[in-house]
Structure 1
Amino acid sequence: MGVVDSIIDYGEVAFNLFTSLTLGQQISIILLTPFLYNLLWQLQFSLRKDRVPLVFHWIPWFGSAIGFGMKPYDFFEECRQKHGDVFAFMLLGKVMTVYLGPKGHEFVFNSKLADVSAADAYTHLTTPVFGKGVIYDCPNARLMEQKKFAKFALSKDSFKTYVPKIREEIVSYFEESDQFKLSTREKGVANVMITQPEITIFTASRSLLGEEMRKKFDKSFAQLYSDLDKGFTPINFVFPNLPLPHYWKRDEAQQKISSTYMKFINKRRQSGDIDPNRDLIDSLLTHSTYKDGVKMTDQEIANLLIGILMGGQHTSASTSAWILLHLGEKPELQDELYEEITSVLNEKGATINDLTYEDLQNLPLVNNTIKETLRMHMPLHSILRKVKRDLLVPNTKYVVPKGHYVLVSPGYVHTSDRYFPNPYEYNPHRWEAQAASTANDDEGEVDYGFGAISKGVSSPYLPFGGGRHRCIGEQFAYVQLGTIVATYVYNLRWTLKGDKVPDIDFASMVTLPEEPAEIKWEKRSTCVL
């Protein structure tokens, strides 16, 4: 008890001393104490030989949030030049250990499930958007099986049926949207931050969910997805639930969309009208029993439908917007694409109305345009995992403690001249010579439960991530984006409205173009409207 008594005595002395000070002195101590603690904590962290170099920060808890949040790639490069490829920084109370470059890709993406967790890093962000029991709100084994269930609708045979549906949706949008109205207008101005999110959700819903569900996706329903989309912001990552309007809209949108899906599911359950080859809804109603015999509930199926559609909504809307902007800056590249597309179609005496999945495979410049856009504008600039147990950084003495985070940034590597010459030059032709450098065939494949994928993550080019959480929608993205590019180029020719391609807006968790992001378009002679 003597030690306890001594502590109490010291506490009383300190308290009496503090209360004897003037109000100004008391306020100064209260304000300065966190800063002093912050400096002592950083000193203690830096003196440990088993910790990675720490980026110095003055502001407690907030850390390097401003530099990282405004220009993450510049921030990473500045830190790399000072500390090397491996370093740590404070981000809103969380310590992030960054490992840049292909070795960093291996370290994070190939880490064992027992060591790092994507669910622990993201579930508080994703669960309010997708719903309970799916994606990161379930054990990893369940997530892997959910991916397998979804892949039934992502087969080559399915893609063949999707291409004409996607093309029809785009042409219909050209005819009806206020941004175009091609039936009555020869030229105009379009905001790609309006057109591409709408086109993405309309084409994805038509192809994946079927025509009956697509009819529900009018502008008001698309707005619900927009409200849901606003649940993926940095403030949501730090504070999952706050009494603010955009949180209320997120929750209301989730409930309304989920309710709409449930009505369709109940209708098909009651009628028995279920064809697993018709659309993703029926596919999941047929293929959603886990290996242990447990079936997904219908509510979980509805939530998974939200997750699948939202997973592609971010990336494809962002990527297609960037494609249009870069092509607007390079009309000559549009003309090359036009020549490639019309050549393939003319060879079989067809027009864009006859575009097929097989045609997309014969359009290398179209596919390289998508590839180059994903290089310059990977939708997610940073990918996180939470460390579940002390983790040794390979070939170093550094240990990342349990509870910290590891961060990898393929987008940084994509735009580094250490890996890509002239990285800020938009040049789809670079891939004609670099195809071999991005191949992982020699590294084999692994099946995490949802089909075999390349286990190689040492490539400097990983726009769809890697490892067990690699995006399963990669092939669908190329089908959707390829059809969008081909349909735009065949019908329109455009230039930028502004002087240059807009800068990247890193305020969102997705790398979007800053507004205004507009193109000036005019109809081509081959326009179908």
Structure 2
Amino acid sequence: MTLNENCFNFPVIIASILAIIFVRYVVLKKMNRRNCPPTISGWIPWMGVGVEFGKAPLTYIECARQKHGSVFTILAAGKYLTFLTDADDFHFFFNSKNVDFQQAVQEAVQNTGKLLQLFRRVMFGAVVNNLFGEGAIPTDEEHIQQLEDIFVKFDDQFEYGSQIPDFFLRDWAACKQWLLKVFKTVQDRLQLQSSKSVSLVQQLMDIVDAKSAPNFALLLLWASQANAIPISFWVLAFLHTYPEELSKVSKELNDAFGDKQTELVVDEEIISKLPSIKRCILETIRLRSPGVITRKVVKSFDVKGYTIPVGDMLMVSPYWAHRDQRFFTDPESFKPDRWLAADLEKNFFLDGFIGFGGGRYQCPGRWFALMEIHVLITLILQKLSLKALDPLPKPSTLHVVGTQQPQLTYRVQFSKR
């Protein structure tokens, strides 16, 4: 055997180096995570339990809570996701300076059935003008169709594209960059205008750093569409499943509009006469809220005897929080009248409701979202007669980002009144 064969067995050397790196990685991670919450890390480095978690994330979260308690961590795709599931601990998420919303979302940046397609077609152009102001983005038929088509592709894979490197989803990454370029142009146009804020997006750009502004603008458009459209869908689906609630809404519509069918104007006065719709919207948001919302830990802190380290993604699940029987009796049932206990005229929600977040980073567009859904539901119910052709679909357990999507198509038959 030659000296070269004895001393330079490269496959063995490489395997040894990789083994040392792997052991060092595992040991250092364990040392850095002493006194941390129970961690479900799986056996695959970096990937962790990402595959198992991705199969049914909402179910996985609840099973982990039952097994490990109210605070636990999941390793998925290189990120440590630490969940707080006890409402008593939510103040760490919403009010603590140890966690940051902007760092959690700055990198990030399902629509099923005929009824959802109808809502998207109706809402997209109107929402763009209201968010960005008239003329900030061209909304003629050709340009708005291109923007909508690319946004739909972005939306379809947002949950996955926001969590894994762009290299794995090149089409999604291309859509993201195209949209960010559009919003960078919008930012430049708005900076040339008067310093007085005239649109919701301009107000947003006034309070975030200039570099991140296009990302936040895209995120706001995504939130206004990806959440308002399915919530509107679910409101009508619930109403046509619970005829007693539809009857209450229909009576208020008749009292507010009478026999008027043409040139309907839905203004603040009309909306104030339709409180049942608002209660239905909020109850729908409660039942179909996102699986998780997130913050990035920028300074370690303790909760329930565990240390949450810097770099973890702190997670709260509105979906499961809204099923806490301490706040919501019979939590799986659609009961809009539970919102009679809330002072909605003063914009106070029910205790335990976190559908719009909380603390320093509540959704800045929450009142706009409630208003646009209220107006849209009012116009659809007043202008169209709807008949459900399918039973109420169950929400999909596959999605944790954004409003819950239906498992199956929900068809309706509609005609003009």
Taking structure 2 as the reference length, the TM-score comes to 0.80
Query: What residue in structure 1 maps to residue 199 of structure 2?
Result: 280
- In the alignment, the residues of structure 1 paired with residue 107 and residue 212 of structure 2 have an alpha-carbon distance, to the nearest angstrom, of 17
Verify the 8 A CA contact 2:114 2:409 in the aligned structure 1.
yes
SS at match of 1:344: helix
Is structure 2 residue 280 aligned with structure 1 residue 369? Answer: yes
Query: What residue in structure 2 maps to residue 354 of structure 1?
Result: 265
Q: CA deviation at 1:521?
A: 2.3
- In the alignment, the residues of structure 2 paired with residue 14 and residue 108 of structure 1 have an alpha-carbon distance, to the nearest angstrom, of 55
Query: What residue in structure 1 maps to residue 228 of structure 2?
Result: 316
Of residues 343, 356, 372, the one that matches 1:480 is 372
- In the alignment, the residues of structure 2 paired with residue 301 and residue 17 of structure 1 have an alpha-carbon distance, to the nearest angstrom, of 50
Query: What residue in structure 1 maps to residue 121 of structure 2?
Result: 198
Distance 1:265 1:122, change over 3 A: closer
Of residues 365, 383, 387, the one that matches 1:491 is 383
- In the alignment, the residues of structure 1 paired with residue 221 and residue 169 of structure 2 have an alpha-carbon distance, to the nearest angstrom, of 27
Give the total of aligned pairs. Answer: 406
Matches within 5 A, 1:94-113: 94-112=79-97
Q: Deviations over 1:417-451 (max 9, x none)?
A: 4542222222222322x427x99x9xxxxxxxxxx
SS at match of 1:478: helix
Matches within 5 A, 1:47-446: 48=34, 50-55=35-40, 57-112=42-97, 115-126=98-109, 191-210=114-133, 212=135, 213-215=138-140, 218-230=144-156, 232-240=158-166, 242=168, 244-256=170-182, 258-259=184-185, 261=186, 280=199, 284=202, 306-346=218-258, 350-351=260-261, 353-378=264-289, 380-393=290-303, 396-432=304-340, 434-435=341-342
Is structure 2 residue 363 aligned with structure 1 residue 466? Answer: no
- In the alignment, the residues of structure 1 paired with residue 335 and residue 277 of structure 2 have an alpha-carbon distance, to the nearest angstrom, of 12
SS at match of 1:489: helix
Query: What residue in structure 1 maps to residue 414 of structure 2?
Result: 522
Runs (5+) with no aligned partner, structure 1? 1-12, 21-25, 127-188, 442-452
Verify the 8 A CA contact 1:35 1:59 in the aligned structure 2.
no
Verify the 8 A CA contact 1:258 1:306 in the aligned structure 2.
no
Distance 1:209 1:406, change over 3 A: closer
Verify the 8 A CA contact 1:325 1:517 in the aligned structure 2.
no
Indicate the structure (1 or 2) with the bigger Cα radius of gyration. 1
- In the alignment, the residues of structure 1 paired with residue 206 and residue 248 of structure 2 have an alpha-carbon distance, to the nearest angstrom, of 48
SS at match of 2:75: strand
Distance 1:106 1:15, change over 3 A: farther
Q: CA deviation at 1:236?
A: 3.0
Q: CA deviation at 1:461?
A: 0.5
Runs (5+) with no aligned partner, structure 2? 1-5
Q: CA deviation at 1:33?
A: 8.9
Verify the 8 A CA contact 1:230 1:250 in the aligned structure 2.
no
Distance 1:70 1:320, change over 3 A: farther
Q: CA deviation at 1:470?
A: 0.8
Distance 1:504 1:498, change over 3 A: same
**What is the root-mean-square deviation in Å for CA atoms of aligned residues?**
4.2
- In the alignment, the residues of structure 2 paired with residue 288 and residue 65 of structure 1 have an alpha-carbon distance, to the nearest angstrom, of 34
Distance 1:33 1:14, change over 3 A: farther
Is structure 2 residue 6 aligned with structure 1 residue 19? Answer: no
Distance 1:15 1:319, change over 3 A: farther
- In the alignment, the residues of structure 1 paired with residue 8 and residue 237 of structure 2 have an alpha-carbon distance, to the nearest angstrom, of 63
Distance 1:284 1:514, change over 3 A: closer
Q: Deviations over 1:392-428 (max 9, x none)?
A: 22xx332112222221122211134454222222222
Distance 1:67 1:105, change over 3 A: farther
Distance 1:493 1:95, change over 3 A: same
- In the alignment, the residues of structure 2 paired with residue 329 and residue 35 of structure 1 have an alpha-carbon distance, to the nearest angstrom, of 55
Of residues 497, 510, 521, the one that matches 2:402 is 510
Verify the 8 A CA contact 1:331 1:495 in the aligned structure 2.
no
Stretch moving more, 100-109 or 506-515 = 506-515
Verify the 8 A CA contact 2:389 2:412 in the aligned structure 1.
yes
Q: CA deviation at 1:284?
A: 3.9
Verify the 8 A CA contact 2:223 2:402 in the aligned structure 1.
no
Q: CA deviation at 1:252?
A: 2.5
SS at match of 1:329: coil
Q: CA deviation at 1:497?
A: 3.2
Query: What residue in structure 1 maps to residue 3 of structure 2?
Result: none
Stretch moving more, 30-39 or 422-431 = 30-39
